[in-house]
Structure 1
Amino acid sequence: MNSAVNNPHTLLQLTGLSKSFAGKSVLDGVDLTVKAGEVLCILGPNGAGKTTLISAILGLIAADSGDIHILGQLQHGAARSVALRQQLGVMLQIGSLPATLTVAEHCDLFASYYPAGYRATELVTLAGLEVHAKQRFGRLSGGQKQRLLFALALAGKPCLLFLDEPTLGMDVEARRNLWQQISQLQQQGVSIVLTTHYLEEAEQLADRIMVLHQGKFIASGSPSELKALTRYKVVKCCSALADAALLALPGVLQLSRQQHGVTLHSSQAEQTVLALLTEDNTVSQLEVSQVALEQAFLQLTQSPGSEHTGTATQEQAA
């Protein structure tokens, strides 16, 4: 048995997890570890296998092969004990609730499932829906529904929380408020597995990001480590050089002009800057930075041979 399984700080361990549908492989021998107090974000394009992965972990479907350990317990098939479920929190993207029950009634119902969890009034407060407590679920806005579903996922005070697209439909303020709640949960020692299409969300919240592509993890690391895997950096400046001269600088792959300057993508940023300063002594507002996480993600999942990219932490598919 993998020693990580016996580690009390490891809450989730997957080894060689595989799943196929109609003969098509959706998960291909994936490994994953989540430690106490860690926020792990799983990124991947549509069809990468994210939903299948979460469903297999939660026992909503049975994996074809591989081992799943949750809180140190080996899981068999799709069965999950009541005692284990009491320690997990789940907010699924497709989650919904009976439309005719009010916010308060839903909170009262979920509170009744967990003797050691939050009281109904506390769940209403966690959702930030005190003024809507008597409003029926079906009449809530999309963002309000998400906030309620998030609060209900916390009903049992879980030590391991799964959040699938938790801020979908929220406005900017509500999204940032939920980010703050997630950060507070992490500070309390809760481990969180997060899937999201908002790359800014992953960058703000995740200790570690794993990129799932075509059923395999192709990269793993902190946001900064993943960005470092890209082939280029961004050089911004104001320069008197014409576009042709800028494109001729060493390492320059791409150029775009804005009203107050130019942006270069360079595979050799240091050499680019040295040559730029040599050819144009009027350069101003010079800035060199890594690419945004969005560009790193697109490069990892769309470039040819991305499945051989490797990982930021040199782990084998983990």
Structure 2
Amino acid sequence: MSGEPAVVVADLRKSYGPVRAVRGVGFRVARGEIFALLGPNGAGKSTTLEILEGFRARDAGRAEVLGLDPGDRGAARELRERIGLVLQDIAVEPYLTVRETVTRDAGYYRAPRDVDEVIGLVGLTGQERRKVRTLSGGQKRRLDLALGVVGDPELLFLDEPTTGFDPNARRGAWRLVRELRDTGTTVLLTTHSMQEAQALADRVAVLAGGRIVAEGTPDDLGGRDTAGARIRFALPPGCAAADLPVAAEVRGAQVTVRTAEPTGTLHRLTGWALQRGTALVGLTVERPTLEDVYLDLTGPDTAHDTPRGTPPDTAHETAEGGAR
């Protein structure tokens, strides 16, 4: 992760009529890292990606991808040679086979990866002769991923890459993304899955209302690494909330203790339980999850996505004034 960054965004702005989709967004993606853009529907994620991919013109601000301006038509061919795209919905000829589809796209690049290697990487070995129209939703998504990596890109854009995957396929896709990162590919990812962001991303940025509201690693985003912990356990039989040695919230038989010093608090609780000869059944100690922090940062999700590629004059307008 050294040298010039793979992506530079500064004060990026884009409006569709009165709808301000992107309002001064700025971030950098280092070469060789996985960077995730998170945000509710309508936050501006897809608009930001489409600008970086060269599919939309920005109104203002700076955008650089691998040292090129994605809005410069003169740089479009070079940019296409050096990036890979896995969009939410990719148009694929339904009557071609898997092998024919990957082979066709490999022909667009000067130095593509081996077709059989790519088919194996995405878990479609044995499906080479099947026509695209006969594939399941998850298999089609694997094919999308194959088309994104067949050109051996320096930078890979992944927009909701594992939608429709079963758990095994999802973990296989994650493994592939990590392998790409480990061999030097930079990955810019959007996802609604906090589990996916936690598993893959080196850094994340949260978009809300067209602005970046937080940026950091999955473990420290929004102060998550220093936030108070929650200790939970079942209230021992014959005990009341007043009997506990620390302040706690009791709902039914479930006890929740919130503390900034989990080690000391846990020591007091376990010492108390040992003295009484009772057990703290179901004892867990948790800090806020990435999803907890994300929900605190973004608030209720009341917006709706605009499908990628929607013309600006028909882009969905949200009450927040953002369009995805």
What interval of TM-score do these two structures reach, taking the shorter chain for normalisation? 0.7 to 0.9
Hey, what's the Cα distance between the residues in 2 that align with 1:301 and 1:263? 28
Shift in alpha-carbon separation, 1:246–1:58, aligned structure 2, 3 A: farther
TM-score (norm 2): 0.81
Secondary structure in structure 2 of the residue aligned to 1:224: coil
Counterpart of 1:56, as a letter, is: I
Aligned to 1:223: 218
Stretch moving more, 285-294 or 159-168? 285-294
Secondary structure in structure 1 of the residue aligned to 2:145: helix
Hey, what's the Cα distance between the residues in 2 that align with 1:255 and 1:80? 62
Shift in alpha-carbon separation, 1:244–1:154, aligned structure 2, 3 A: same
Q: Please say if 1:293 is aligned against 2:290.
A: yes
Aligned to 1:189: 184
Q: Which has the higher contact order (CA 8 A, sep 6+)?
A: 2
Aligned to 1:114: 109
Aligned to 1:151: 146
Hey, what's the Cα distance between the residues in 1 that align with 2:81 and 2:66? 12
Aligned to 1:266: 258
The 5 A counterparts of 1:120-269 are 120-226=115-221, 228-229=223-224, 232-240=228-236, 244-245=241-242, 249-250=246-247, 262=254, 264=256, 266=258, 268-269=260-261
5+ long unaligned stretches in structure 2 = 301-324
Asked if the contact 2:7–2:66 (Cα under 8 Å) also holds between the matched residues in 1, the reply is: yes
Shift in alpha-carbon separation, 1:249–1:79, aligned structure 2, 3 A: farther
The 5 A counterparts of 1:9-48 are 9-48=4-43
Stretch moving more, 165-174 or 93-102? 93-102
Hey, what's the Cα distance between the residues in 2 that align with 1:156 and 1:48? 30
Give 1:79 shift.
Answer: 6.4
Asked if the contact 1:62–1:77 (Cα under 8 Å) also holds between the matched residues in 2, the reply is: no
Hey, what's the Cα distance between the residues in 2 that align with 1:14 and 1:182? 23
The one of 280, 284, 304 equivalent to 1:284 is 280
Secondary structure in structure 2 of the residue aligned to 1:223: coil
Secondary structure in structure 1 of the residue aligned to 2:297: helix
Asked if the contact 2:241–2:250 (Cα under 8 Å) also holds between the matched residues in 1, the reply is: no
Following TM superposition, where does structure 1 have runs of at least 4 consecutive aligned residues deviating by more than 3 angstroms?
74-80, 227-232, 241-250, 254-258, 267-287
RMSD of Structure 2 on Structure 1 (CA)? 2.8
Shift in alpha-carbon separation, 1:87–1:231, aligned structure 2, 3 A: same
Secondary structure in structure 1 of the residue aligned to 2:92: coil
Asked if the contact 1:89–1:153 (Cα under 8 Å) also holds between the matched residues in 2, the reply is: yes
Give 1:130 shift.
Answer: 2.4
Give 1:274 shift.
Answer: 6.8
Give 1:92 shift.
Answer: 0.4
Stretch moving more, 271-280 or 131-140? 271-280
- Give the total of aligned pairs: 293
Aligned to 2:83: 88
Structure with the higher strand share, 1 or 2: 1
Deviation readout 1:196-248 (Å, 9 max, x if unpaired): 11111110111111111111111111111026448542212344385754899
Hey, what's the Cα distance between the residues in 2 that align with 1:51 and 1:25? 13
Identity %: 34
Aligned to 2:51: 56
Asked if the contact 2:8–2:27 (Cα under 8 Å) also holds between the matched residues in 1, the reply is: yes
Asked if the contact 1:111–1:118 (Cα under 8 Å) also holds between the matched residues in 2, the reply is: yes
Q: Please say if 1:103 is aligned against 2:98.
A: yes
Asked if the contact 2:51–2:70 (Cα under 8 Å) also holds between the matched residues in 1, the reply is: no
5+ long unaligned stretches in structure 1 = 1-6, 304-318
Counterpart of 2:83, as a letter, is: L
Shift in alpha-carbon separation, 1:77–1:115, aligned structure 2, 3 A: closer
Asked if the contact 2:227–2:288 (Cα under 8 Å) also holds between the matched residues in 1, the reply is: no
